[in-house]
Chain A
């Protein structure tokens, strides 16, 4: 498959490069460094009738375009598994922030996520496990902020075992499902782990 590297290219170059590559290729994988570029390439694929898939890779995304029915999904390589020193991971493993009154704890966590969206340095991954799993599911008060974070390239992962246990499997609305291996690897590779 032809590879193009459109990272650090200002719009509209990533979508233009992807379109031009597809003029001669069956399949193309494009690397981009922001989610808007992914969306612009998706739009182009829709108009051109190409299939399109993407996954987070490093600080950006890999997008695969395909003219045939076969559409491979790009390998997911979250930032946590690369050797970025400024890298951190946020862990949400209970209902709310800190310990104390439940109402206050939930309020604090909402405020934490709002403030997180305003940080210059964002976490590479946010892990949700145990009771934290509720926060990536329908009715979560954090969805709007999580959407903002995801759009900025933050990976959102929820523990699959936890979703099963709490009967939330059908209710997950943001991010991907993860397993203990990935959770251990993500936390071990992180520069630091932040647990509010």
Chain B
């Protein structure tokens, strides 16, 4: 897969070059920009289903208020697609400035939707994230998902906030030998019917599980970086659905219903209904143990040939009311201090987007000293990362899934 590594590098290199040329705007003098934004309010639309994340955002808001005099209002969001809807509706109604969203926590499909509609803030017609001061320490070289989001170039239109890799959690009191591949998972569910399931697509976590299955059933993973042509979809997805047809009868509730989302799945695991669960964030299970939600015997495992990895970002809509203040917030969110705190499992446990080796020694020590928790795999244990496939794959999978399993 050399191509998928090189391309984002080229893109970011090109953007870096252009960033140095563009100096007429406020981004060139960030301190002046931050001073000018003092006193403004940033409406930060962010998914709010997890109280620990909400608490982290509240902390960041207080820090930003103290450092820059900018107020951050966390607007509670249940589904980021709703925020896309707000921006669309506003611009549709002719409101091209003074919009209600200043900053949004986003990635993948939603980012692409806004990017393609041209609704992302781009001062001087260019990206801004790679012109922020803290971009210098972002792990651009080591983490391709920071510059290519679901195969679409980020182009500096969103600033990286965190990075995650898909993993399974399980109860080690019940399960001693964890599956290492699809066959192992199928074998286990067959022997333990009703103890495994996944959230119903198009839920994000459920879709990610299907993408993992896709990566393991496709003949050549390199194909996933390219768009899926309509006439090839049937053939390319046949092995995936053959596997699902075999798996479903042994799922929770015999696959006749599915949990709605990550939260519902977690609750099923906490209630003891299922024994293996899925997490997008590797630290999720450890956090749940610490909160007494999960049994202390919970551990994590991954498949041998890699797991889906992606990053999440913050973006500024083109009609934001306070885009300059939002830049200041985005820059703070990827600062070493904020990133270190975010990776602390007691706070949130979300992995950093920074190149830790490039940071000050005391911050490096801070990262090294973090106790990841009993159920969190280290980056080495997490194994190889599989990049997100082109969105056309997921669209096709979701359509086929609905036609096949949602017919009632």
Tell whether A and B belong to one assembly: no
